[in-house]
């Protein structure tokens, strides 16, 4: 703690993600969405705590959500972490959210983490790499889910026609340390355009399609503040800020490389002083140079963007869609990554809370979780699923590949497959759900059948 890791952490916890509808609601903001029976935010917070990063600002979109998240954090982490919760208005970009807490940042480097990461990557290593390179930006990359979960999907044998999740296009130098190019995968359908001068600087550039931006960045505070204040146009960290920094870097890199350094440095400022019409762009671009000598190592006038690539065995993924929510719950957290949750695993390779009651002839398969106080009736079958706290589940119920949150009532003879059931849902007798998402408090009538639907109560607005 303290002097060694002088990092401030900004956790962007989001608010009501539209992508996760109907799972999130006013009562359950994204940050508190249960993953493996714990709020998703807890994974990040615990990861930070484990890495001795205890000075946090949690940015939540929406006042109500902020109150809820704040309440939960004080309850759960009181005394363990120093957390400030900041509320920003909804529907603003990530960079705007960051801008809103800019004035609270005081130490040299800032770690910006998305609140929906479930990971076991050593954050300390990222911070150290950032420091070592004196980088302006260090982005964490992990191997793209399209490679790792592709197997998982095919093994479950469904959703084969599912569109591959968007990947990132990442340009690195051959040492895999410098970030040279970053474009989000949604743009793959267009041609990839890369500046020649950029490649020239490094001679060889590798374009990776198998890496994914994990939305975990370390920034140099001074430059972050300057850039965000000057370029109000930057809305999103991933879409605008990071590419902007990456591009600026190449400018300086290009000049500072080779034996032209001294001359180049001498000449660029001249151009600025030459009284050219001041477009906003010119206002911005040369700026880092003036502040560079102050904040960076004086010998190197380079603005470097670095990457930290998570090593093979490490896990990192984001809960940013219903698909990933289901995947993370089922395949990872309850399965191979159960250690992240801190629960003890039984001999059957599942986690059943001691206070849970299981009826006779009921089987709970491997990679399952049953939360505390839940009751399962007789002759039930739970496979690759998570059952939350205080659920009441009748007899002859089958729960397969699903997530059932807290306080859910499931009556006899229900069949739940590949679905997500939010808190306080009531499934009446012999309801049959397949690939559905059921919003909080919904009541599913007896004998009804639903397939691939998103069901939710109409929000009173």
Structure tokens at 299: 């010998």
Distance CA 44, CA 119 (A): 8
Q: Minimum Å distance from CB 120 to other proteins? A: 23
C-beta closer to other proteins: residue 237 or 319: 237
Residue 162 in contact with other proteins, rule: CB under 8 A: no
C-beta closer to other proteins: residue 231 or 337: 231
Structure tokens at 45: 């917070």
Distance CA 418, CA 402 (A): 5
Q: Minimum Å distance from CB 3 to other proteins? A: 36
Running DSSP on this structure, what letter comes out for residue 288?
H
Rg (CA), the chain: 24
- Are 430 and 414 in contact, with CB atoms under 8 Å apart? yes
Scan residues 325-354 and list those touching other proteins (CB under 8 A): none
- Are 51 and 122 in contact, with CB atoms under 8 Å apart? yes
Which listed residue (76, 125, 128, 254) binds other proteins by CB under 8 A? Answer: 254
Which listed residue (175, 274, 278, 279) binds other proteins by CB under 8 A? Answer: 279
Cα angle, residue 105 at apex, residues 100 and 110 outer, rounded to 5°: 105
Residue 84 in contact with other proteins, rule: CB under 8 A: no
By the 10 Å C-beta count (0-12 exposed, 13-18 middle, 19+ buried), 52 is classed as middle
Q: Minimum Å distance from CB 178 to other proteins? A: 14
C-beta closer to other proteins: residue 187 or 346: 187
Which listed residue (103, 193, 458, 460) binds other proteins by CB under 8 A? Answer: 193
Running DSSP on this structure, what letter comes out for residue 164?
P
Distance CA 132, CA 129 (A): 5
Beta strand ranges found along 31-136 (DSSP E): 34-35, 38-39, 55-61, 82-88, 109-114, 117-119
Distance CA 302, CA 134 (A): 9
Distance CA 444, CA 124 (A): 47
Q: Minimum Å distance from CB 215 to other proteins? A: 16
Residue 187 in contact with other proteins, rule: CB under 8 A: yes
Which listed residue (21, 52, 64, 93) binds other proteins by CB under 8 A? Answer: 93
Q: Minimum Å distance from CB 312 to other proteins? A: 13
Distance CA 461, CA 447 (A): 30
Which listed residue (235, 383, 398, 450) binds other proteins by CB under 8 A? Answer: 235
Which listed residue (103, 190, 458, 460) binds other proteins by CB under 8 A? Answer: 190
Which listed residue (19, 131, 134, 200) binds other proteins by CB under 8 A? Answer: 200
Which listed residue (138, 248, 317, 396) binds other proteins by CB under 8 A? Answer: 248
Scan residues 203-232 and list those touching other proteins (CB under 8 A): 203-210, 230-232
Cα angle, residue 232 at apex, residues 267 and 45 outer, rounded to 5°: 110
Q: Minimum Å distance from CB 75 to other proteins? A: 36
Question: Where on the chain is the footprint of other proteins (CB under 8 A)?
Answer: 93, 147, 169, 171, 182-184, 187-197, 199-200, 203-210, 230-236, 239-240, 243-244, 247-248, 250-251, 254-255, 257-260, 263-264, 267-268, 271, 279-285
């Amino acid at each position: 703690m303290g002097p060694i890791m002088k990092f401030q952490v900004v956790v962007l916890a989001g608010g009501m993600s539209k992508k996760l509808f109907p799972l999130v609601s006013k009562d359950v903001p994204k940050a508190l969405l249960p993953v493996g029976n714990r709020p998703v935010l807890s994974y990040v917070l615990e990861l930070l705590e484990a890495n001795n990063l205890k000075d946090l600002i949690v940015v939540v979109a929406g006042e109500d959500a902020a109150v809820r998240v704040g309440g939960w954090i004080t309850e759960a982490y009181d005394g363990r972490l120093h957390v400030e919760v900041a509320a920003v208005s909804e529907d603003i970009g990530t960079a705007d959210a960051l801008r809103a807490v800019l004035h609270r940042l005081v130490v040299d480097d800032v770690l910006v983490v998305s609140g929906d990461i479930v990971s076991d990557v050593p954050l300390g290593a990222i911070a150290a790499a950032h420091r070592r390179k004196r980088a302006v930006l260090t982005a964490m990359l992990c191997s793209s889910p399209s490679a790792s979960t592709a197997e998982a999907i095919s093994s479950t044998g469904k959703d084969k026609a599912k569109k591959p999740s968007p990947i990132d296009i990442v340009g690195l130098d051959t040492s895999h340390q410098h970030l040279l190019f970053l474009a989000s995968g949604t743009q793959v359908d267009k041609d990839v355009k890369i500046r020649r001068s950029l490649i020239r600087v490094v001679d060889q550039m590798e374009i990776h399609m198998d890496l994914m931006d994990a939305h975990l960045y370390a920034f140099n505070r001074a430059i972050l503040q300057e850039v965000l204040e000057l370029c109000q146009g930057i809305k999103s960290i991933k879409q605008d800020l990071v590419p902007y920094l990456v591009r600026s870097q190449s400018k300086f890199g290009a000049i500072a490389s080779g034996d032209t350094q001294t001359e180049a440095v001498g000449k660029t400022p001249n151009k600025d002083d030459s009284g050219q019409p001041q477009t906003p762009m010119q206002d911005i671009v040369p700026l880092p140079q003036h502040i560079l000598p102050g904040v960076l190592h004086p010998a190197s006038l380079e603005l470097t963007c670095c990457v930290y690539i998570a090593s093979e065995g490490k896990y990192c993924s984001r809960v940013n869609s219903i698909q990933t929510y289901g995947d993370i719950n089922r395949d990872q957290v309850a399965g191979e990554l159960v250690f992240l949750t801190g629960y003890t695993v039984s001999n059957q390779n599942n986690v059943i809370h001691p206070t849970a009651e299981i009826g006779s002839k009921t089987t709970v398969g491997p990679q399952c979780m049953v939360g505390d106080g839940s009751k399962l009736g007789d002759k039930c079958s739970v496979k690759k699923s998570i059952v939350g706290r205080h659920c009441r589940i009748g007899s002859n119920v089958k729960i397969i590949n699903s997530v059932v949150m807290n306080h859910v009532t499931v009556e006899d003879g229900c069949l739940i497959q590949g679905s997500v059931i939010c808190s306080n849902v009531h499934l009446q007798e012999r309801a049959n759900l397949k690939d559905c998402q059921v919003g909080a408090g919904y009541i599913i009538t007896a004998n009804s059948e639903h397939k691939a639907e998103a069901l939710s109560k109409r929000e009173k607005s």
